[in-house]
Amino acid sequence: MEKNPKQKKTDEYVICRFQFWSGLWFLVSLVMLISVAIALYIKLKSEEGFNFIPYGISYSVVFGIFFISAMLVIINSIKGILLAKKKNDRKMFVRFLLAVILIIPFVSIYAIFASSISLIHYKKYENEAISTQLVV
């Protein structure tokens, strides 16, 4: 049985809407992961013997949320690629393909740690500049 045209439009609408919301959630979870990574790094540098368990749990939970949101975007993009191939729409195919390629989690994780380390060094130098001004 063929689906009626209204049903095909609904499939496109559902995929595109889910892609938007999962992409938005991916960005929110990326910000959460960066924040928790910075907080954990600051605590590790500032105190010698602190309790790692609450920070480790929060980091694990946030990393899990980030991983799930990344997988949702990837799975939905694959569905969009299949729909674009079925419709023979090259522009939509390229957009969904780029969504899959550009969300590689390893690149995001590298960016998280690179940005957190650079922010930590910036804050460290800022504190040193303030302390040297107070001494003079």
**pLDDT (0 to 100) of residue 77:** 82
Tens of pLDDT, residues 56-92? 888 899 999 989 988 888 888 888 888 888 888 787 7
Token pair, residue 84, equals 């674009």
Q: What is the dihedral of CA 45, 47, 49, 52, to 10 degrees?
A: -60
Q: List the domain range (segments joined by +) for residue 27.
A: 5-135
pLDDT of residue 61: 92
Total domain count, the chain = 1
- The pTM (predicted TM-score) of the whole model is 0.63
Q: Average pLDDT by consecutive 10-residue portion of the chain (136 residues)?
A: 56 76 84 84 72 81 91 85 84 78 59 49 50 54
> The tokens of 69 are what?
């949101």
pLDDT of residue 28: 87
Residue 65: its pLDDT value, please? 93
CB 106 within 8 A of CB 66: no
The pLDDT assigned to 111 comes to: 52
Query: Which pLDDT value is given to residue 7?
Result: 53
| 3-state DSSP helix/strand/coil % of the chain, to nearest 5 | 90, 0, 10
- The SS3 of residue 18 is helix
